[in-house]
Amino acid sequence: MASVATVQVSAADYQDQYRPFTTLGVIGSFNEWTDDVVMTDDDGDGIYEAEIRVAGEYDFKIRADGEWNYSWAAYETDYDRTQNSQTSGSVSSRNGEEALKKIDQSYLKNSRQRQKTELLTYKHKDHTKNAVVYLPPDYNPKKNYNIIYLLGGVNSDETAFFGKAGESSALGNILDNTFNSGECVPLIVVNLAFYPDKNTRLGDKALSVLLDDFRQELRDVIIPAVESKYSTFAPDTTPEGIAASREHRGISGFSMGGAVAWDIISTDLDYFSFCIPMAAGSFEDYSGNDYTGSVAEKLKASRSSLGEEKSGFHIFAAEGTDDVTYEYMEKLIDRFRTEYQDTFSFTTSGFPDGNICYLLKQGGKHDPEHARQYFYNGILAMNNALK
């Protein structure tokens, strides 16, 4: 049987922190995420309330003016037992899971001011490798740009997100329109290939060997090659120059690429401050006998070595409930919440508050469409973190 639950939120906590709003509403699984139930403050005490009919466990969000980019979770709730004294139930609202902003469908079309993707070729050890570099519209080499290094899934290469250099792509169009609209400060995105050559795949070499090789390649070859050619915040491409600009550099990946991103942010905080892992747990839950270590423990060690002032970080993680990687991401996030509260500060309000935000897409699957939505939300979060 259904019962009535009262949802409450203090407007004072959000009115000044975000922007003025006209209405507050609650939306959730109790109404299939359709329309907001309007919240009211009848007695003028600043506490907005709404009554909703629920049965069993449910998820919900609070939204300002019906907009997903102004939404929060984890609010005080209680059941009104006077409505149905025989009904019991539970409230489920995952602390830290922000609602993902939808991509405007017009963003998928070519913009008037279009991106440019270029092929960057470099050598690492005995191998010649490529990266595809996305440059935002009106790229100006005299300006400084934030930069994200991006990896695809287990069988992907440098063409995973933007296609071949010079081609138009869905993600490229989304980024073009995002930057042209002023929604986000333009940035550079570099699509990388993880494997040392076209013939090597996961299982051909020990995972720890592949990770160590890629880390060396990223630090010693890729970043210097990219940031000596394109304009970032790095004053130069010496290790000192790259470290000095760490706050403007991120690592991201989807699926296996996301697991690589988790590993890189945990060990290379001297070069990276931002991470966008998408649909991916960490290798600590995949690697079996070739254990690559705990992300949290390695990150703690990095922070201890560098000092807190030089090792601040922001992680924006996104996952789908119908994704094959869902259980792995959940397992990792739950460890962070329960065992490493001294390291991870979860935020339900976006950056710069806290250092990790976990977003869950109801019904999200393991596919390019969701990867693009996760990455789009990730760059918006990075933009806010750097303000």
Domain shared by 322 and 226, yes or no: yes
pLDDT category, 11, cuts 50, 70, 90? Answer: low
**88 located within any domain:** no
Domain shared by 221 and 363, yes or no: yes
Domain shared by 63 and 124, yes or no: no
Domain shared by 71 and 186, yes or no: no
Domain of residue 33 covers: 3-79
Please state the rounded mean pLDDT for residues 348-375: 89
> Is residue 325 within 8 Å of residue 281, measured between CB atoms?
yes
> Is residue 281 within 8 Å of residue 317, measured between CB atoms?
no
Domain shared by 340 and 300, yes or no: yes
Q: What is the CATH number of the domain that holds 143?
A: 3.40.50.1820
Coil, helix or strand at residue 171: helix
Of 30, 45, 79, which residue is a domain's last? 79
Domain shared by 110 and 57, yes or no: no
Domain shared by 361 and 234, yes or no: yes
For residues 123 and 354, give the distance between their C-alpha atoms in angstroms, rounded to a whole number: 39
Domain shared by 360 and 218, yes or no: yes
pLDDT category, 21, cuts 50, 70, 90? Answer: confident
> Is residue 185 within 8 Å of residue 139, measured between CB atoms?
no
**327 located within any domain:** yes
Sequence-distant (6+) residues with CB within 8 A of 34 are 27
**85 located within any domain:** no
Q: Using alpha carbons, select from 48, 189, 180 the residue that is nearest to residue 132.
A: 189
Domain shared by 20 and 163, yes or no: no
**95 located within any domain:** no
**206 located within any domain:** yes
Q: How many domains does the chain have?
A: 2
**87 located within any domain:** no
> Is residue 39 within 8 Å of residue 52, measured between CB atoms?
no
Q: What is the CATH number of the domain that holds 21?
A: 2.60.40.10
Residue-wise pLDDT for 175-192, tens only, equals 999 999 999 999 999 999
Domain shared by 11 and 65, yes or no: yes
Name the pTM for this structure: 0.75
Residue-wise pLDDT for 89-122, tens only, equals 222 234 334 478 999 999 988 876 676 899 999 9
Domain shared by 120 and 191, yes or no: yes
Sequence-distant (6+) residues with CB within 8 A of 147 are 187, 188, 189, 190, 226, 227, 230, 232, 248, 249, 250
Residue-wise pLDDT for 324-361, tens only, equals 999 999 999 999 999 999 999 998 667 878 999 999 99
Bigger pLDDT: 152 vs 18: 152
Domain shared by 26 and 68, yes or no: yes
**91 located within any domain:** no
Quote the crossing angle between the two packed helices 368-385 and 170-180, to the nearest 10°.
30
